[in-house]
Amino acid sequence: MAAVQQPALPRTGFPRTIFHVDMDAFFVSVEELYDPSLKGKAVVVGGQRDERGVVSAASYEARKFGVHSAMPLRTAAKQCPHAIFVNGHPERYRECSEKVYKVLGGFTPQVEMASIDEAYLDMTGTERLHGPPLKAADHLHQRMKAETGLNCSVGIGTSRLIAKVSSAQAKPNGVLWIAPGQEAKFLAPLDVREIPGVGKVMEARLHALGIQRVGDLARLEEGELEARFGKWGLALVGKARGEDAGGWFDSEVGEDIEAKSISHEHTYNEDTADPSQLEATLMRLSEMVGRRLRESNFHAGTIQLKLRYKDFTTITRAHSLPNPTQLDTEIFEQVRGLFRKNWKAGAPVRLLGVHASSFATQAAQIDLLQGSRQERWKNALAAADRLRDKFGESSVSLAAGLRGGFRERIHENPASLPGKSKGRDKGKST
DNA sequence: TCTGGGGTCCTAGGACCC
DNA sequence: TCTGGGGTCCTAGGACCC
């Protein structure tokens, strides 16, 4: 009997079991591992009390005094004068984050670090191995503490959204499981601000409509939300029901996502209008960006300058390159050109940034290596399209995709081929 | 209060092409 | 000669997240 191919179940056809694991006061906890005398005290990580900068993380003790992340350090010092201020140590956090990742990998291969201190796990179908969700989470909790010395909170639900929101409710050091079917009921009493993606601005706009809690969203019609908030409004309706509506939230847990940009920026401790100092900073930032491009083997097609003046007005100016680059000198040349064209000479500068994006795909990189072939290919493909326009879809065919190399053929007119591809017919050629 | 640094995604307008 | 409409790329700015 022939095997019957089962149609893939739609994603919504059965409930997934998603864990969101969020480390508690991560930076502070890591600092405590290095200096146990900090335990139980008001600790602020991010810099010294008189520095220009913001709080990266605050201990629960410091939070009692209103200190929270993103608050200016100087404000934190006023609110909580007895707090201990600690500089951040990114290497330590990265190292601990790797340990966290290893622990999580012991539970499922489908682990996705969403940032340095939080991860999503797809635990669907692991019950035979790990038991029911709450038991698995309890086990995870213990293993995490034993192997990293750190506490975490775990949210469990049928979507990333529910897992994320429930881990926040579980803090600190707790576990919260939202049973399938209970999503909307769980969300309804929460402030709209608890929904990931609703920030200060969206919150204010929703409040202006009389919407304070997630449950209030149900009172508005979908059409009205879409009219007011566009694409976002529609997604919001889904979110209020606990669905992973739209964008990144919809992706499978553990899918590899490539970086889309690399940037570095610097805020001066004191504003400066000295051109040589400013350009020296741009050089340094360009080198940092270039190094990371080469590490990741990316070539950037667009280079962007960021410039913030004393009064905090900020401009960005971008330029796209004909040939994507990963070289410090080329990055610097571009960004210096943008700087010279756009800086109001003499105006004190607070921040400079260098940003690289539009990374070349592998195919485009091959094009690049082969110099003018790129141009001829583009012309050939454009010619094929024009033929199609004139004579119909079947008049021209491209024999193979880019994957196998440059094997395309324009059947009707082989002479127009831009060069020949030799060998390497089968298999990947990258 | 006086506002870091690293990212992602979205919107909107203009250029350009078909 | 005038007109329109869609698609894509580029640029600038801003909301949001950790």
Q: Is residue A4 part of a domain?
A: no
Same domain, residue pair A370 and A281: yes
Pairwise CA distance, residues A63 & A194, whole Å: 18
3-state SS of A232-251?
Answer: HHHHHHHHHCCCCCCHHHHC
Is there a catalytic annotation at residue A118?
yes
Domain presence at residue A430: no
Residue A133: is the preceding peptide bond cis (ω within 30°)? no
In terms of C-beta density within 10 A (0-12 exposed, 13-18 middle, 19 or more buried), how is residue A352 classed? buried
CA distance A370 to A423: 16
Encoded tokens for A72: 């200016």
CA atoms of A16 and A389, how far apart (whole Å)? 47
Report the distance from CA of residue A40 to the C1' of nucleotide B1 in Å, as an integer: 26
Q: Do residues A270 and A387 both lie within one domain?
A: yes
* Rg of chain A on CA atoms, in Å: 27
For residue A411, is it within any domain? no
Q: Last residue of a domain, which of A184, A199, A232?
A: A184
Query: How far apart are the C-alpha atoms of A104 and A21, rounded to whole Å?
Result: 9
A420 in a domain, yes or no? no
Crossing angle for the helix pair A328-342 and A275-296, nearest 10 degrees?
A: 140
- As a whole number of angstroms, the distance between CA A385 and CA A392 comes to 10
Structural domain of A224: 189-241
Window 345-374 of chain A: CB closer than 7 A to strand C:
358
Pairing of strands A261-272, A300-309: unpaired
Q: Do residues A43 and A163 both lie within one domain?
A: no
Are A396 and A377 in a shared domain? yes
Structure tokens at A179: 């049973």
- A300 and A216, same structural domain? no
The CATH number of residue A167's host domain is 3.30.70.270
Q: What is the CATH number of the domain that holds A208?
A: 1.10.150.20
Q: In this structure, what are the phi and psi dihedrals at residue A212, rounded to the nearest 5 degrees?
A: -105, -40
Q: Tell me the C-alpha distance between A200 and A364, whole Å.
A: 40
Query: pLDDT at position A247, please?
Result: 72
> Which two three-digit tokens encode residue A66?
């209103």
How far from chain centre, in Å, is Cα A386?
Answer: 40
Asked whether strand B has any atom less than 7 Å from the CB of A234, the reply is: no
A262 touches strand B (CB under 7 A): yes
Determine if residue A191 is labeled as part of a ligand binding site: no
Is the domain of A273 the same as that of A368? yes
| Positions in chain A whose pLDDT score sits under 50 | 1-11, 363, 367-368, 372-382, 384-386, 388-430
Domain boundary among A163, A184, A205: A184
As a whole number of angstroms, the distance between CA A26 and CA A57 comes to 8
Q: What pLDDT, on the 0 to 100 scale, is given for residue A315?
A: 98
Instruction: Please indicate, yes or no, whether residues A63 and A176 belong to a single structural domain of this protein.
Output: no
Assigned token pair, A101? 């990742």
Domain presence at residue A8: no
Catalytic residue among A31, A32, A112, A118: A118
Residues A113 and A175 in one domain: yes
Q: What span, in angstroms and rounded, lies between the C-alpha atoms of A60 and A254? A: 31
A120/A234 same-domain check? no
A75: domain CATH number is 3.40.1170.60
Q: Name the protein residue, with chain letter, whose CA is nearest the C1' of B5.
A: A265
Domain end residue (candidates: A42, A70, A88): A88
Q: Which of residues 182-221 of A touch strand B (CB under 7 A)?
A: none
Q: Give the Cα separation of A28 and A37 in Å (integer).
A: 12
A139 and A63 both lie in a single domain? no
Q: Give the rounded distance of the alpha carbon of A245 from its chain centre.
A: 17
Residue A22, annotated as binding a ligand: yes
Q: Looking at residue A379, which CATH number applies to its domain?
A: 3.30.1490.100
Residue-level pLDDT at A48: 97
Identify whether the C-beta of residue A417 lies closer than 8 Å to the C-beta of residue A380: yes
Q: How many domains does chain A have?
A: 4
Render A266-316 in DSSP notation, one character per residue.
EEEEEEE--HHHHHHHHHHHHHHHHHHHHHHT--EEEEEEEEEETT--EEE
Residue A256 lies in a domain: no
pLDDT of residue A251: 85
Say yes or no: A270 and A147 in one domain: no
Give this prediction's pTM. Answer: 0.82
Q: Would the Cβ of A90 be found within 7 angstroms of any atom in strand B? A: no
Residue at A173 is within a domain: yes
| DSSP state letter for A56 | S
Least Cα distance to A112 among A275, A323, A257, A268 occurs for A257
Q: Within this chain, do residues A135 and A214 fall inside the same structural domain, yes or no? A: no
Does residue A324 sit within a domain?
A: yes
